[in-house]
Amino acid sequence: MANRIGHILTLTSFGESHGPYIGAVLDGLPAGIVIDEIFIQKELDRRKPGQSTFTTSRKEDDLFQIVSGVFEGRSTGTPITILIPNTQQKPADYDHLKDVYRPGHADFVYDKKYGRRDYRGGGRSSARITAAWVAAGAIAKTFLDQHYNIQIQSIVSSIHKIGMDAPFDFKGWDHAENNAVRCPDEKIAAQMIQAIEKAKAEGDSLGGVISTRVSNCPVGFGEPVFDKLNADIAKAMFSINAVKGVEFGLGFGSSRLKGSENNDTADKQTNNDGGITAGISNGKSIEFNVAFKPVSSISIEQEALNTMNQIETLSIKGRHDSCILPRAVPIIEVMTALVLADHALLNLKNAKNVNKMTER
């Protein structure tokens, strides 16, 4: 509980931004699955800081070590543990934050809930910990690819007020990795970069929306009624820092349509339901949007509460992203992969599989 997600394929997350390691335990993966360390590193590199001028200048190499559960390049069926050292902690950077609660951050709620907190850089609430999720989730991605041919791709579809009109209709998602904001539409991408650079210059930050598509998911993933596939994906998404909204298919847009317009009927080529009906994958692409608020850490002066219940003026120093979305793209992909892999395994016990497994 609390730091574990998944039903039979589970991710246990641990670590703080300024301890010696962050890490993850991936439990429940079948034995014999290929563990592709080069691919894991590649996914970590997509998340790591310092990929562009507007991400944090904290330079973490994010070199991981698998310390259990793998033998001769394949999973053994035992828990896979991943360690990522924190090499670039500069706790001194955070001394000025010891007694003040940064607006929009976990500082206040952690202090009130726990009666104490590790104030160094967010501690447990830092998005730093998602690096280990990425490593573990990369394994889930490989599993889905090799055993189901399932592909998961996320793109940045809007930043602040600059957005693609209909991201799921856009052809050419593969271009997303060609630019610093991971938006496949090059023109929009250029505007986004400009907007972020401007916000950075002002000491401000920007939010946006990430769109995700899962291709080749077979019919039948998702367990009604309380482990629906969309419910579990949504829970995973809201586990990611700064996420404020999740919608599937047309989402909030479908609330403004009539049934006759919205229904994905047999003759229409629509996917308004976003590939999930009644909580179960329906064989179409799974499509959803995730909204991020702008990063809370800004160097513009703000009024903040301090631990003595007074208001003080705060300008947050240190190494922060002006826009987190490009780096959040791989995080969303791998968390989606973890949910899907978990449901793939849960679905092994559906009727036709059990018959196939147990036929004598």
Distance of alpha carbon 266 from alpha carbon 11, whole angstroms: 38
Among 51, 145, 302, 319, the residue binding a second copy under the rule CB under 8 A is 302
Considering only residues 38, 169, 265, 269, which one is a binding residue for a second copy as defined by CB under 8 A?
265
Among 180, 228, 318, 319, binds a second copy (CB under 8 A): 228
Q: Which is nearer to a second copy, 169 or 265 (CB)?
A: 265
Residue written as token pair 């301090």: 306
Which stretch of DSSP H or E encloses residue 211? strand 208-215
Residue 285 gets which letter from DSSP?
A: P
In the complex with a second copy, which residue's Cβ is closer, 171 or 334? Answer: 334
| Of 17, 24, 20, the residue nearest 110 (C-alpha) | 17
Name the residue nearer to a second copy (CB basis): 171 or 226: 226
Distance, CA of 31 to CA of 74 (rounded, Å):
7
Which of 169/359 has CB closer to a second copy? 359
Tell me if 318 contacts a second copy by CB under 8 A: no
Q: Which stretch binds a second copy (CB under 8 A): 34-42, 89-97, 173-181, 234-242?
A: 234-242
Of residues 129-158, those binding a second copy (CB under 8 A)? 129, 147-149, 158
**Alpha-carbon separation of residue 102 from 1, 30, 243, 299 (angstroms):** 27, 43, 18, 11
Token pair listed for 157: 């579809």
Q: Does 300 bind a second copy (CB under 8 A)?
A: yes
x/- track of binding to a second copy for residues 269-288 (CB under 8 A): ---xxx--xxxxxxx-----
Query: Binding of a second copy at residue 20 (CB under 8 A)?
Result: yes
- Cβ burial of 135 (10 Å; 0-12, 13-18, 19+) is buried
227 forms bridges with which residues in the sheet? Answer: 223
- Select from 244, 307, 315, 317 the one that contacts a second copy (CB under 8 A): 244
Distance CA 54, CA 326 (A): 10
One character per residue 85-124, x = contact with a second copy (rule: CB under 8 A) = ------------------xxxx-xxx-xxxxxxx----xx
Residue 250 interacting with a second copy (CB under 8 A): yes
